[in-house]
Amino acid sequence: MTTHTEIASLWSRVQLGYQQFDAWRERAGEASARYFRLDEEPAQPQPRQRRHEEPAPVRTLGTVTVLGISKLVKELNTNIDDHPHLVLFGNSGSGKTTLAQLIAGLRTGRLVILDPKRPKGWEGAKWGGLPYVTRATDGSYGPLVAALKAVVAEMDRRYAVMERASTPFEQLSVIFDEARNAITECPELADLYKKVISIGREVGVRLIILSTNDRVKSLGLDGEGDMRDSLRRIHLGKFARDVYPEVARLGKENHLHAVVELEGWTPFDNSKTLELLQRVSLPASKAWDGVRANCQTGTAVVEDEDEDLLAGLLTQTSMAATERPKMAVHTAPDQTSLRGIPGLDAVSAGMPNLSAILGGLSRDERIQALVALGVSANAIVATLGGDRNTVLARVRELRGSEDAR
């Protein structure tokens, strides 16, 4: 028969067992928690820092991480199908131009810049020295219409190629500064602009729109919900504070306030944009040859009568000499550079008639004439037709010999 003493001893051993079990369970729980924390947040090796990228951002607004500028640009340019077209809303001094240059500068492919404001004192400087298309001297939008016609013609050409074969295309980015007034005052420009937004993405043509008015109406897309949906919005300065007031905590300066439409409004660090841009190369060769003849570099401006030339020059079908349009260039040809080419010795400094010049020349002499007149390589190929590589090789050869002189 079990005595009280034995029962007490047994109970003591049971209590000791419980204590030991509780201690073991506590240690096991701590180990399990550590395991799950490691499983949820595995240690990642630091990736090798790429050129033009800063370390991962550490700034926060409450619980919201502020994106680093290079991380944002990488997202916009790498996952470009998710962000086919961009629209930058910002008041004066908010950094729209700088950010647009950085995005375009770090994007592969070629660039077209449309700047209808004709900025005095900014010639050759506003866009880092890149050529851009502006209004004619009389204030008309002819050169901008011609440039967008050239872009639309290139889109049509790419669609025709897609019907025959699946071919990746070089990215073509179009920066359109102050699009609001231009598309309001020029209906033809508005129609071309909408066509680029509507079907450009499938063939690698992307818009970067800059606007000082953050109303959707300012984009000229009333009743065009599908088009608006393809625009990724970025708000800078005052407009960033309007949609995301907490962004004001990033600093007092206007250019520091910036948000992007990524899963709601996400703030990003715009303070290093200019510094990063200074490390990015923006060579003149990045400008698309298709509109180079319609560009301003320095003080030369294409006049209004040239507005329909580029679309004709980019037509892929071969035209008879009498049907080809006259040439569009932004500087008067150097008369001395025309000597030695049959039929061109007597050309005046004004723009000659293309048919009269090319009519009696051989194919090689025509290439020499067009190079001497400053016509872009793509326009020469489109005008003369034939094997593209052969023509481009001859153009490079001629331009190389000119540089040597």
pLDDT tens for 283-328 read 777 888 777 655 554 322 223 333 333 333 233 222 333 333 332 3
Asked, for residue 107, whether it belongs to a domain, the answer is: yes
pLDDT tens-place string over residues 162-192: 888 777 888 899 999 988 888 889 889 988 9
Write the pLDDT tens digit of every residue in 97-122: 889 988 888 888 888 999 887 655 44
Is position 234 within any domain? yes
The pLDDT value given to residue 307: 33
Regarding whether 74 and 146 lie in a shared domain, the answer is yes
Statement to judge: residues 102 and 228 lie in one domain: yes
DSSP conformational letter for 334: P
Return the DSSP state at 46: P
Q: Do 231 and 277 reside in the same domain of the chain? A: yes
Assigned domain for 300 exists = no
Q: How many structural domains does the chain have?
A: 3
86 found inside a domain: yes
Q: In the listed set 234, 255, 290, which residue is the last one of a domain according to the structure?
A: 290
Structure token digits, residue 15: 């209590």
Answer with the residue of higher pLDDT: 204 or 227. Answer: 204
Q: For residue 4, is it within any domain?
A: no
Radius of gyration of the chain (CA): 31
What per-residue confidence (pLDDT) applies to 275? 82
CATH number, position 173? 3.40.50.300
Provide the residue range defining the domain that includes 22: 9-43
51 within domain boundaries: no
Please tell me whether residues 211 and 283 are part of one structural domain. yes
Are both 168 and 259 inside the same structural domain?
yes
Structure tokens at 247: 């962004």
Same structural domain, 35 and 116: no
Least confident of 84-93, 356-365, 386-395: 356-365
* 204 and 322, same domain (yes or no): no
- What pLDDT sits at residue 272? 84
Contacts of 54 (CB under 8 A, 6+ apart): 68, 69, 70, 272, 276
253 shares a domain with 347: no
Chain centroid offset of residue 186 CA: 23
Residue 403 has pLDDT above 80, yes or no: no
Identify the pLDDT of residue 151: 92
Residue 308 lies in a domain: no
Share of residues in the chain with pLDDT > 70 (%): 60
The segment with the largest mean pLDDT, out of 79-93, 349-363, 367-381, is 79-93
Q: Report d(CA 220, CA 216) in Å as an integer.
A: 8
24 and 94 together in one domain: no
DSSP character at residue 320: -
- Tell me: do 283 and 392 sit in the same domain: no
**133: pLDDT strictly greater than 90:** no
Instruction: Give dist(CA 327, CA 188) in Å, integer.
Output: 22
Are residues 98 and 14 both part of a single domain?
no
Candidate from 117-131, 188-202, 221-235, 385-399 with smallest mean pLDDT: 117-131
Cβ neighbours for 167, distance < 8 A, ≥ 6 positions apart: 161
Q: Which amino acid is at 60?
A: T
Measured from the Cβ of residue 147, the count of other Cβ atoms closer than 10 Å reads 31
Quick one: 234 and 282 in the same domain?
A: yes
Residue 309 resides in a domain? no
Average pLDDT, the chain: 70
Per-residue pLDDT tens digits for 42-71: 444 444 545 544 444 445 565 567 888 888
Beta-carbon neighbour count of residue 42 at 10 Å? Answer: 7
